[in-house]
Amino acid sequence: MNATNNDSAMNNEPVILSLGPASGHRPVIMRGPADMAELLPYLMGFFPDDSIVAVGLHGPDLHQGGVIRADIPASPALWPAAAEETAALLVDLSERRDSRPLQVLLYLCQDPASEHGPPVLDGLRPLADGLRAAFARRSVPVKESLCVSDGRWWSFLCRRQGCCDPAGNSIRRAPAPGPAAAAATFAGLAPRGSRKAIIAGLAPIGSPSADAQRAAIARAEAAELPEPGIDLLDQAFAEFAAGVCELDEDRTARLLLALRDRSTRDRGAEFVRPAELAPAERLWRFLARRAVPPYESCAVAPLTLLAWASWVAGDTATARVVLGRALDLDPCYLLADLLHESLNDGMTPEALLAAVEGQRQRREARPSAVAPEPAAEERPGPVPGPGPGGASGGSAGTAVARRRRRARRAASAAGTVPADGGPVSPAEGVPEPGGPGPVALLPAPGCRPGERSAGGLRLGRAWSCGSAAAPRHRCTRRSARGARHAR
């Protein structure tokens, strides 16, 4: 099949994409599978490696609705479940936001395992067929289904004998982009590379630096230093704002441990004024990469803060990937979970940003105020280390936290979240007017779509995604029996 003359289902019929706030929501017209393949990284903000991507199409003009990305399960035995859950989630989220999609575009993205590995197209065809059947059961026909691999694309729906080049079609790239990609670039959009590349940039540092950092974290944890975490964080941020690029191992270790405290983490979330975003992102990235094994869990707070700063800066693609990494490390980290869902529901950060700024202004008006004690449900637990760690059993505080989570979960079904100041209206956080549909997060165990209200998002006021009776260490995010969660 070539890009100009093919029998694929899309067949040059226009599809209208809305590529988000960075483009001012200028529509970009996509015609045919060649445009579809070329625009994928612009649509997602990055290239989705090893991924299923589903794009809902709405209305007579076929404008873009919700977008879902999920991992391709390693085992083909898990593909039917992944296909079923992907279709169910896209339809459910679309109906909750607006309406059922009329059609859907599908991408299966995977590079060959090796230079001489088996063809990806034939290997993924059963998954493509399963996705098509899953959407058909929901009366949503697949308009086009592409395999994207190693810089080339193929249509799973092209059936005309002799039409398709077995080698596939090259994806147009700079410096000779197609009209659709040129329009996206003119609108101010630029993909951030691949998802794997973004994650690789967050990987822990290697030896010999890792050995020194590991020893410093062990010393800091054993010493239980009384140094106030907020003061330590304020000083480190001031240095990064002045141009410093790194801290010594001991200060880094103390900061990583201090960020387990909610009040210290929430102070870090305040560093999102325009002049603060760049140094804040550098500081959080620096700290996240110093959470070396076996202290990887110390990266969760700086990763969450990096994602928050990226979201405020308008880089939602990086924010989603970073939050996904944080939730891989700690599936029950409440702030990361709620930020992820807010992003995926198409919300803007303004409501939470206003709350954070108000919190900061009130604090600055009372410079001698004592930081509040962390709530029982978010009190930091022990950091895994090379030595044995104590585990606490059930307690009255834990029981109180569970009762709070039950109350919040029940209230969320009605669109409110009980907080210290009373119920929160969902109007405080709404999907972006004129924006694209949600980029979905597959639900966690014990959660149903619509069970939580993103309008209730508050720093330090969150509730668990799992069963209210489940201890924290047993909370796990659903793997869609192999599909994992969308990002």
Flag whether 263 is in a domain: yes
Q: What is residue 449's predicted lDDT score, i.e. its pLDDT?
A: 35
Q: What is residue 289's predicted lDDT score, i.e. its pLDDT?
A: 97
Q: What is residue 13's predicted lDDT score, i.e. its pLDDT?
A: 65
- Per the DSSP assignment, residues forming a β-bridge with 14 are 31
One domain, residues 215 and 292: yes
Tokens of 213: 């950092």
Note the pLDDT tens digit of each residue in 440-468.
333 333 333 333 333 333 343 222 222 22
Flag whether 7 is in a domain: no
Q: How far apart are CA 396 and CA 131, in angstroms?
A: 47
Q: What is residue 84's predicted lDDT score, i.e. its pLDDT?
A: 97
Flag whether 430 is in a domain: yes
Give the domain extent around 21: 14-171+180-197
Flag whether 346 is in a domain: yes
Q: Which residues of the chain fall below pLDDT 70?
A: 1-14, 17-26, 115-118, 160-163, 173-192, 224-227, 367-487
Cis peptide before 27 (omega within 30 of 0): no
Flag whether 238 is in a domain: yes
SS3 383: coil
All residues at 6 or more sequence positions from 170 whose CB lies less than 8 Å from its CB, including other chains: 151, 152
Q: What is residue 413's predicted lDDT score, i.e. its pLDDT?
A: 31
Tokens of 405: 């989570």
Note the pLDDT tens digit of each residue in 26-79.
677 888 898 899 888 888 888 898 999 999 999 888 888 888 999 999 999 999
One domain, residues 193 and 206: no
| CATH number of the CATH domain containing 79 | 3.40.140.10
Flag whether 445 is in a domain: yes
Q: What is residue 158's predicted lDDT score, i.e. its pLDDT?
A: 82
Flag whether 487 is in a domain: no
Flag whether 478 is in a domain: yes
One domain, residues 207 and 136: no
Tokens of 216: 């410093």
